[in-house]
Amino acid sequence: MTNPDRKVALVTGAGSGIGRASALALLRAGYQVVLTGRNANKLQATLNDAAELAEHATAVESDVRDPASVAALFTQISKTYGRLDLLFNNAGTGAPPVPLEDIKFEHWRATIDTNLTGAFLCTQQAFKLMKAQAPMGGRIINNGSISAHAPRPNSAPYTASKHAMTGLTKSTSLDGRKYNIACGQIDIGNAATDMAIPMQRGVPQANGEIAAEAVMDVEHVAQAVAQMAALPLESNIQFMTIMATKMPFIGRG
């Protein structure tokens, strides 16, 4: 169900974790939200969690790694809503935590294709839609990571993709100026999602030890995304870091 009084947001990787929590937060903030991901059942679970707000959400199965799938997604958004006000490039994956020399090429490729190429393809399509709509412009938020600043042991594919995401964010901010497109990045550390379960049990540290790490409520991340989205386009949170206060990042662990 479309509502012309609601701004339109697209959340990739909306079937779980940060994507699900952020999509729900944006619905509560008054957005019409397009949920996308590769797993239709997970997208439906997000709709179920939305309860009565689900009438303002649409689930579209797509694969951000596939240019044709991304183009079809944005064509559907354009036909259904006529515009896009917010893109949250959230879809992401990681590779098995093995020594760098043992990383399989297919795991490297899958991580880069999802985390970086997927964000680029969605950004490219968002530019085309946002610069053609009236009023022109919109906002793009990229899901970076603490790994955009410092790596974990045995995480070369993920870390490389997130460092590259910072470059994409900066280029998007610069190239989007003439179209009134703002772009910022949220760097997240240890949100309590399924992905963070091993951290609470114990994960390798830079000194070789195994240690449990503090985590934070994923809802705090969702609130931060909604805060970034709420700004008028004349203002932008370029980079925001939100992390579990006691995780080993600041200082020497």
- pLDDT, one tens digit per residue, over 2-32 is 677 799 999 999 999 999 999 999 999 999 9
Does the residue 168 lie in any domain? yes
Q: pTM of the prediction? A: 0.95
Tell which wins on pLDDT, 191 or 195.
Answer: 191
Does the residue 133 lie in any domain? yes
pLDDT digits (tens, 9 = 90+) for 212-240: 889 999 999 999 999 999 999 999 999 99
Does the residue 62 lie in any domain? yes
Coil, helix or strand at residue 136: coil
Which residues fall within 8 angstroms of residue 59, CB to CB, at 6 or more apart? 14, 34, 35, 36, 40, 43, 44, 46, 47
Domain limits at 55? 8-243
pLDDT > 90? residue 211: no
Does the residue 87 lie in any domain? yes
Does the residue 248 lie in any domain? no
CATH code (residue 58): 3.40.50.720
**If pLDDT is split at 50, 70 and 90, which confidence band does 199 have?**
confident
pLDDT digits (tens, 9 = 90+) for 42-71: 999 999 999 999 999 999 999 999 999 999
Phi, then psi, of 108 in degrees rounded to 5: -60, -50
Give the residue carrying structure tokens 């809802």: 219
Report the number of distinct structural domains present in the chain: 1
Q: What is the pLDDT of residue 197?
A: 78
Average pLDDT over residues 135-152: 96
- Tokens coding 153: 């042991």
Average pLDDT over residues 78-89: 97
169 C-beta neighbours (distance < 10 Å), count: 25
Average pLDDT, the chain: 95
Catalytic residue annotation? 158
Q: What is the pLDDT of residue 253?
A: 59
Cα-based distances in Å from 235 to 183, 206, 227:
10, 38, 12
Q: How far apart are CA 162 and CA 29, in angstroms?
A: 28
Q: What is the pLDDT of residue 22?
A: 98
Answer for the pair 46, 218: CB distance below 8 angstroms, yes or no.
no
Does the residue 40 lie in any domain? yes
